[in-house]
Structure 1
Amino acid sequence: MDNAIAATKEMTSDQDNLLVVTADHSHTFNMGEYAIRGNPIPGLAPSDDEPDIALDLRQFTAVGYGNGPGYQGSNVDFQNLSRENVTSESAADLNFMQQSAVPLGSESHGGEDVAILASGPVAHPIHGVHEQNYIAHVMRYAARLGDNKDHCLYRPEPTVKTTEPTFETPPSYTIEFIGDKLAPAEATAILNAFFVLEIILSFFYNLSIRSHD
């Protein structure tokens, strides 16, 4: 996965492409002991050099599955034990199957929150904890789809590092003013004219009042 993300970033530009990395669910694969720094991830708990011993007098790995085909049986009084005594050599074998607490034909999905990371334009809304449907809205907004077409009037065109970015011309729009659709500049000119006319009328009105006095 690291290689796939690295290849994607090499083929795209952070200026033009929003890259979102997440998962649709977790699994029941969890850390179940206090492994020390530098210990192999599938190694024994807390380390391959000094492994802990469980109540069934057998060693175990620091990570394991809550359910799945790795179940090996148990007994309340720990008699007639059937669980494999894991060693650092067996845990490092490519064909080693992690032990599980519940017997299933295949391991199931988990219920924890999953990570979500993003880079590129409009990556800033990706932070903290989000509902899963939120991700689609962020991607829709970043792609300027549907009702999001005009949220960025000055969107840079896809650029090459050796060229300067170009900008779109803002779309023209009109204002409904006294029953007509006018450009913003026209509406502003009319409002200014009304303001001047009001001052002139007020001036002559005050003169007429004084002449009657």
Structure 2
Amino acid sequence: MKQITKLSFVTIATAFLSACGNSDKESDVTELTVPEAQAQSAWYQDAQQNVELASERTVNHQPGAAKNVILFVGDGMGISTITAARILEGQMQGGSGEEHRLSFEKLPFSGLVKTYNTNQQTPDSAGTMTALMTGVKSKAGVLSVSEDVVRADCASSQGKELTTLAELAENSGKSTGIVTTARITHATPGAVYAKTPERNWEYSAPSGCKDIAAQLVEFAAGDGIDVAMGGGRRNFLPNNVTDIEGSSGKRTDGRNLVDEWKAKYPQGLYVQTQAEFDALSAGTSKVLGLFNSSHMQYEADRQNDIAGEPSLHEMTGKAIDLLSSNANGYFLMVEAGRIDHGHHAGSAYSALTDAVELSKAVKEAMEKTDPENTLIMVTADHSHVFTIAGYPTRGNPILGKVIGNDSSGQAESEPTLAGDDLPYTTVGYANGLGFADIGAATDADDRYGMPADAGRKDLSNIDTTQAGFHQEALVPLGSETHAAEDVAVFARGPGADLVTGTIEQNVLFHVMAHSAGLLP
């Protein structure tokens, strides 16, 4: 490796001016030295090391250089969610949090991704995942069909189906896997294998169209999806069948898709519990794991599951072990689906602890794969109206009430009070269930002068860091909404350098397909 001589900016400037023949300027330049205290600063040294490491990066974006591709999707994981989850994980590990990095923030390449749907400024998961899986943007609410279909119109979708990355991978001889903490028939995982004009047709569909659960079992590319793990058991069972946790199926067509899957893959294993999951061995060729009737538990609540269910990082590691037996490689999609649900409920605790679990899942994948032959990509389908506000002192609990600094820059001992003389949390939502009616006052001065009992709830004696607390919101809605700003993408491995800059979401499909050699 070439040795790079370290020069000060002034020395470089002097050499440049000399080369340009500007002797007058050259004579005025004096070389500066960095003070010892500055050079010994941990901030200075850490930044210098980061630049040196970045300068040593190598890239390989030759077609087909990636034997394996792993796509992680943090559903609803916007930039503010990443920031807050980073701080939370750091604080959970005993640090102040701000200087911490989630596992995927250590990946060498990153960029910004535009998420809008073709018919919506603020997108939904169906249209965004369609972009990730097919390479073209489409409407909100549709899965892997073109944008000119009419949502929920079966006839309009005929002949408008799009080829997915999973199909390309299967047809090239690779294995395929899907891991999610949501129902496996939900929008994000559904777009991997299903083609439908309505994301809600999870267990039934009009004549002429197939429901999403049926499309998973009937997936025809290659030898079918090899590993599928998540929730959504009810969508595979008839409504007269009760599952092992006491929940009834949803299907009204009489089909038991679990039995159909078992008949189609007699060598495969169907698992429903933590114990059955733990018993899976690397030699198993096909696995269908349905661990809950609906969505799987939030990571914070996982121990409450009746039959027991694996974590996202456990499912990720197991899926990699199972898929790695294919010498041709594999494509694996991993979704942290309940980040989104936590935000919709206005529960930052649920959303952020699931984001921390995603960080663990990515770490698991990083440790189990070789960056020379495996492209790992971490992104989100969309953001949420989740915000980090106030001026909390460094190290203040990210889920706590804002405690600021005094005039000398030292932390206060009591929470900062808002204009209504009440404390407030660092994180909150622009809309959702946490809205508090502040009464009929319309003038801003009157509003801020209103007594506490006419406005927000007094949080003085409430522990806002606990699981049961739901943050305040500005606009009253039955469910907090998605947001429209860009999301991040992080990558490592062959083709990772192609995700830099600000790009359209559908470009990520092309990066993955190019890197794995799946396109002609």
The reply on whether 1:106 has 2:470 as its aligned counterpart is: no
Counterpart AA for 1:116: V
Structure 1 pair 53–142 and aligned structure 2 pair: CA distance change class (3 A): same
Q: Calculate percent identity across the aligned residue pairs.
A: 39
Q: In structure 2, what is the equivalent of residue 159 of structure 1?
A: none
Q: Which ranges in structure 2 are unaligned for 5 or more consecutive residues?
A: 1-357, 405-411
- Structure 1 residue 88: deviation in Å? 7.0
Residue 55 of structure 1 is aligned with which of 395, 398, 419?
419
Write the mapping of 1:33-72 to structure 2, written as runs, cut at 5 A. Answer: 33-47=390-404, 49-72=413-436
The amino acid that maps onto 1:118 is A
- Alignment RMSD: 1.8
- Residue deviations 1:31-58 (CA, integer Å, cap 9, x gap): 1212221011111124483322112221
Q: Match of 1:134, as an amino acid?
A: V
User: 3-state DSSP class of the match of 1:56?
Assistant: coil
Name the TM-score, length of structure 2 as normaliser: 0.27
- Describe how 1:1-213 pairs up with structure 2 within 5 A: 1-47=358-404, 49-75=413-439, 76=441, 77=446, 78-79=450-451, 80-87=453-460, 89-147=462-520
| Per-residue deviation, residues 87-122 of structure 1 (Å, max 9, x unmatched) | 375212220110000111111101111111000111
Change (3 A) 1:17 1:88: farther
Please report how far the alpha carbon of residue 21 of structure 1 lies from its aligned counterpart in structure 2 after TM superposition.
0.1
TM-score, normalised with respect to structure 1: 0.64
Q: Report the Cα distance in structure 1 between the residues aligned to 2:368 and 2:390, rounded to whole angstroms.
A: 40
Counterpart CA distance in 1 for 2:414 and 2:477 is 31
Moved more, 138-147 or 74-83: 74-83
Deviates more, 1:47-56 or 1:96-105: 47-56
How far apart, in 1, do the equivalents of 2:391 and 2:501 lie?
A: 26
TM-aligned CA deviation for residue 13 of structure 1: 1.3
Instruction: Tell me the distance in 2 between the aligned counterparts of 1:63 and 1:32.
Output: 6
Q: Distance in 2 between matches of 1:13 and 1:133?
A: 26
Given that residues 56 and 81 in structure 1 are in contact (C-alpha distance below 8 angstroms), is that contact kept between their aligned partners in structure 2?
no
Helix, strand or coil for the counterpart of 1:136? helix
Length, aligned pairs only = 147
Distance 1:87 1:93, change over 3 A: farther
- Tell me, in whole angstroms, the C-alpha distance in 2 between the residues paired with 1:9 and 1:87: 42
* More off after superposition, 78-87 vs 96-105: 78-87
Q: Which amino acid aligns with 1:49?
A: S
Which amino acid in structure 2 is aligned with residue 137 of structure 1?
H
How has the CA–CA distance of structure 1 residues 49 and 25 changed in structure 2, closer, same or farther, with 3 Å as cutoff?
Answer: farther
Q: Output the amino acid matched with 1:31.
A: I
State the match for 2:31 in structure 1.
none
In 2, the alpha carbon distance for the partners of 1:17 and 1:146 equals: 17
- Equivalent AA in structure 1 for residue 493 of structure 2: G
TM superposition shift of 1:82: 3.7
- Aligned residues of 2:422 and 2:460 also touching (Cα < 8 A): no
Instruction: After the TM superposition, list the runs of 4 or more consecutive aligned residues in structure 1 that deviate by more than 6 angstroms.
Output: none
Measure how far apart 1:86 and its partner are. 1.5
Distance, in Å, in 1 between the alignment partners of 2:415 and 2:454 is 19
Inter-partner Cα distance in structure 2 for 1:105 and 1:49: 36
Structure whose residues are more often helix by fraction: 2
Q: Which runs of 5+ in 1 are unaligned?
A: 148-213
Counterpart CA distance in 2 for 1:41 and 1:138 is 35
Report how far residue 72 of structure 1 moved: 1.5
> Secondary structure in 2 aligned to 1:139?
helix
Matched residues in 2 for 1:136 and 1:111: separation? 20
